[in-house]
Amino acid sequence: MTSSQSSVPEFYQHVLVVEDDPIIALGLEDTITDLGVADVRVAANVVTALAMIEERAPQFALLDVGLVREKSFAIAERLSTLGIPFAFSTGYGADGVPAAFSDRPRLPKPCPTEALEAVLRRRD
């Protein structure tokens, strides 16, 4: 292994969490940070998340499907357009996610640390 390979972080280092429940958001932020992720930003709604993506695109995003009075699918569409990997965090079953996103990982709520760790692991 070369020194440049060994310096590549194991996990994505810039993660966006879209979660409207502040307690869950704080827990996810703490868990993700504890895994060694350098930058975790949290948005509670679609408008804020889209603005954050435009300001500085994340390397990975975790999207709560059901936000207050809205779904996160507009965020998923934008991330797909930009080629940014993402996963859904949801208490809904597979029927809660449109077919266009059926290939994306879905994490249960509450989310086990091992599942979160698996989706945050870099694939490049």
pLDDT means per 10 residues, the chain with 124 residues, are 58 97 97 96 99 98 96 98 96 81 92 95 81
What is the residue whose two structure tokens read 């998340």?
A: 49
Spell out the domains of the chain, with CATH numbers in brackets. 13-120 (3.40.50.2300)
Q: Cβ atoms within 10 A of the Cβ of 89, count? A: 25
**Cα 120 to Cα 13: distance, rounded to the nearest angstrom:** 9
What would the DSSP string read from start to end of 54-117? HHS--SEEEEESEETTEESHHHHHHHHHHT--EEEEESS-GGGS-GGGTTS-EEESSPPHHHHH
pTM given for the model: 0.91
Residue 48: predicted pLDDT: 99
pLDDT at 8: 67
Looking at residue 4, what is its pLDDT?
45
